[in-house]
Chains A and B, each alone.
Chain A
């Protein structure tokens, strides 16, 4: 980005109307990907000068243990629901989860899920890092995921959505293909970077389960209806040019017993519709790239 400029110059302005037609495999109109955040939050992290991790003195019992629910109970509940309807995950991974709970990472890998980095921990933020520190986090992410899963990470979602002006340039320099941090579009778009190339894939923050439940205060059934409405609209518009729908999730939210049933019915609806190309982030970016 153009550091210090009013317009950060992240991408070219490109209105929705009159774009070249993107075609998804099999003539599907909307590429649907599910992004489970597999995270580790530390119980007693050091403070970042610009953002506190927990709102309470450590241990923040509810904050910590709510998230721990993912790694003891709800990951498998969420993942089984996805697998039953043919949805692979593209995982936003706190890479230290590979050390703390390799059982969770292995389960995702066995299901054929793709991994991208969501930082080391979701309690360590990028604000204030110098370039060497940021490079260390990227290199750690690549090496950790490779060692744990054999996968080369292709994408990035900044830990707790904390960025620096150089993150996008750096991940492109390291050869990553996509960022999930830009919310300006319903289609894959090119990102301006200093070297190499980078695409933004829609991560659909507005239908993230955290937004649904804790920003918009939706009931579980209302959230499921929201996903269906989002899908129906994007599937219709995708006839003109292929759209992208992401379902960003946290097992400790969507995998709660009052939410998982309605959510599974939304997955069932999308899978049965016939217009969805149910895929992974890297495959969607590749299909888009091949049409540029």
Chain B
């Protein structure tokens, strides 16, 4: 037995990456950034606000959190709706209490179906980030480019029409992109996406699009739904992350803590208290700058 000779050739073995999407850069070598008001840790809260059709799509893949049982899956359909009806409002109250403005990565179908929800988010000063159309709007290589272009246009157009403002940011479902996504987002006028988790500050693709890294390891989906830790443990872990970043920021320039939460996960009665306490603690720290993604990107861009 032997492998095809091509398995032992390495045509992209060279200085830098094995792709041309973006260039390598080590965080520690970059010019330090500073945040407004002398704050040193930007706390970026990003809520994923999602609508799951009871008829799930598997093209190109089924979204995390989607239907599980044979049709009709009342259990998951309604549990996800709970997030939009109840959990989101608990989160909005918690943000108001902590004085935090946040990003809400929103399926455009939410805007179409529930414009009042969108109005409540916008009225509180939060930012709308485009998050595809609905939870059947997944992207991966294999999705025809025209379909992907149309999906991005629909999501941005609908959110612009309902909210009155075209979103500057984009979050793909499951952070999954095709080879075409970076260029299609740029072509659609998006200024930043949140899909690549390789860094802790914004950086720019070669085509000009910015990536604002939304650490999936710190998300409630990863820590609570996947790793099955309690909300209290989640809050402790985020607190530890903040402490570490604040320590680094004291000598190395501004840092960012991304807090990615999901209404149907964090917005439950037995979890929300721990989350509120976390926000209260963060609000009490002198280093904290609560900011939506777009403001962080703008502050960073102005220093490049």
A residues sitting closer than 8 Å to B (CB atoms) are 40, 42-44, 46, 48-49, 56-59, 61-62, 64-69, 71-73, 76-77, 96, 99-103, 120-121, 124, 128-130, 132-133, 136-137, 213, 217, 219-221, 256-258, 260-262
Contacts and interface: CB of A to CB of B under 8 A. Distances in A.
Given A46-B7, A59-B179, A72-B199, 19 more contacts: A46-B6, A56-B140, A59-B177, A59-B178, A61-B177, A62-B176, A65-B213, A66-B216, A69-B198, A72-B24, A73-B26, A96-B13, A100-B13, A100-B15, A129-B2, A219-B237, A256-B217, A258-B244, A261-B240
Interface residues of B, number: 60
B187 to A, nearest CB: 18
Contacts of B257: 257
B12 interface: yes
Interface in B15-54: 15-19, 24-28
A255 to B, nearest CB: 10
A14 B198 CA distance: 45
Contacts of B15: 99-100, 102
Contacts of A103: 26
A101 B196 contact: no
B126 to A, nearest CB: 24
B3 A129 contact: yes
A260 to B, nearest CB: 6
A65 B174 CA distance: 13
Given A43-B19, A59-B141, A258 B241 contact: yes
Contact of A66 (B198, B200, B240, B243): B198
B10 interface: yes
A133 B7 CA distance: 9
B66 to A, nearest CB: 16
Contact of B237 (A65, A99, A258): A258
B285 interface: no
Interface of B is mostly: loop
A50 B220 CA distance: 34
A205 B195 CA distance: 31
A217 B141 CA distance: 30
B164 interface: no
B96 to A, nearest CB: 26
Contacts of A133: 2-3, 7-8
Contacts, number: 149
23 contacts: A44-B18, A48-B7, A56-B61, A57-B140, A58-B141, A58-B179, A61-B177, A61-B195, A65-B213, A72-B198, A76-B26, A76-B27, A99-B15, A100-B15, A100-B18, A120-B13, A129-B3, A130-B3, A133-B2, A219-B227, A219-B236, A220-B237, A257-B218
B19 A57 contact: no
Contacts of A46: 4, 6-7
B14 interface: yes
Given A61-B176, A69-B198, A257-B200, A99 B14 contact: yes
B244 A100 contact: no
B229 interface: yes
Given A76-B26, A100-B17, A62 B141 contact: no
B154 interface: no
A177 B32 CA distance: 44
Nearest to B140: A57
Nearest to B255: A257
B280 interface: no
B28 A258 contact: no
Nearest to A77: B248
Contacts of A220: 237, 240
A65, A67, A71, A133 interface centre (most CB from chain B within 10 Å):
A65
Contacts of B25: 72
Contacts of A77: 248
A128 to B, nearest CB: 5
Contacts of A69: 197-199
Contacts of A99: 13-15
Contacts of A258: 217-218, 237-238, 240-241, 244
A59, A124, A261 interface centre (most CB from chain B within 10 Å):
A59
A96 B14 CA distance: 8
B240 A124 contact: no
Interface in B140-182: 140-142, 172, 174-179
Contacts of B172: 61
A282 B213 CA distance: 38
